[in-house]
Homo-oligomer: A and B are copies of this chain.
Amino acid sequence: MSEENVVYIGNKPVMNYVLAVVTQMNGGTTEVVLKARGRAISRAVDVAEIVRNRFIPDVGVGDIQISTEEIVGNEGTATNVSAIEIQICKE
């Protein structure tokens, strides 16, 4: 899968990411992966649910993976943060 099909979820409003996914899907992409870390995880779930329920009904949520990533801060201290990957695919 090319990197173009990945939507990274950050701190922008939810609808920005929904629009990104819908645009990709309407452009012919059949699979998009949402990636998020930390507190953006709940926003990633919101994006998947809004796309599915309001915009593209024939889209399904595929595999969901969770993991832990290590982030090294400016002072060299490492902290662990949870991450999620949500696969969205046209059925």
Residues of B within 8 Å of A48, CB to CB, are 66
Instruction: Please encode chain A, from 39 to 64, with 1 for each CB lying within 8 Å of some chain B CB and 0 for all others.
Output: 11110011011000100000001001
When all copies of this chain in the complex are counted, the total is 2
Q: How large is the interface on A (under 10, 10 to 19, 20 to 34, 35 or more residues)?
A: 20 to 34
Mark each residue of chain A from 20 to 52: 1 if its CB lies under 8 Å from any CB of chain B, else 0: 000000000000000000111110011011000
CB-nearest residue of chain B to A53 = B68
Q: Contacts A48-B66, A64-B64, A66-B61 known; A42 to B38 CB distance under 8 Å?
A: yes
Chain A residues within CB distance 8 Å of chain B = 38-42, 45-46, 48-49, 53, 61, 64-68, 80, 82-84, 86
